[in-house]
Chain A
Amino acid sequence: AQRVTQPEKLLSVFKGAPVELKCNYSYSGSPELFWYVQYSRQRLQLLLRHISRESIKGFTADLNKGETSFHLKKPFAQEEDSAMYYCALRPQGAQKLVFGQGTRLTINP
């Protein structure tokens, strides 16, 4: 079965500090990985997907198949980055997403 684990429920860093939100997955095939973000009073929205290999709002994430990880990183955190972050996996050929438990990121001024 597929599984996504986000080991940190809460993460707090200071503005300007680097931030890394961890995501590990369990899946035997070739997954598609995503990061979704939910800002306060807004709907859940896609932040980035690994196949795009892009940087959104300064965030990047690299798929490491050897470590089965897809950690989200940003070199300099900003206060507006405070939100709930979910890592998600789409099994090969499937439409559904399997989500992790989420990490609440708080950026302190």
Chain B
Amino acid sequence: DGGITQSPKYLFRKEGQNVTLSCEQNLNHDAMYWYRQDPGQGLRLIYYSQIVNDFQKGDIAEGYSVSREKKESFPLTVTSAQKNPTAFYLCASSPAPGNTIYFGEGSWLTVV
């Protein structure tokens, strides 16, 4: 049904390796977001982007990097500097400031 697509759904990586999570949206939304979801801690904002070629750090940006070269794509790289990378990662988008935020289905990352 389109919307926001995250891939892969499940990913395993060895400690010390960088990993990139994909997020694509076909909703023509300007803003995109990455959240991390941990049990008992709710969702925490990693990075967000209001327009192409622009992004801002969220509350827990350390150890992560993003790019926004295209409107429809907002990949998240989890670097080896991230101390506790194992988590559920949610990508989201919204049409414009103040509009409803829509979420993808998420990606499970396990680092062993």
Contacts and interface: CB of A to CB of B under 8 A. Distances in A.
A57 interface: no
A43 B104 contact: yes
**Most central of A9, A88, A98 by chain B CB within 10 Å:** A98
Interface of B: 31, 33, 35, 40-45, 48, 50, 58, 90, 94, 97-98, 100-106
Contacts of A100: 42
A98 B72 CA distance: 23
Band of interface residues on A? 20 to 34
Nearest to B104: A43
A101 B42 contact: yes
Given A95-B48, A96-B33, A96-B58, A45 B103 contact: yes
Contacts of B43: 44, 86, 88, 97, 99
B4 to A, nearest CB: 8
A102 B42 contact: yes
Contact of B44 (A44, A95, A99): A99
A97 B94 CA distance: 11
Contacts of B31: 95
B40 A97 contact: no
Interface in A1-20: 4, 6, 9
B42 A44 contact: no
Given A95-B50, A96-B33, A101 B41 contact: yes
A29 to B, nearest CB: 14
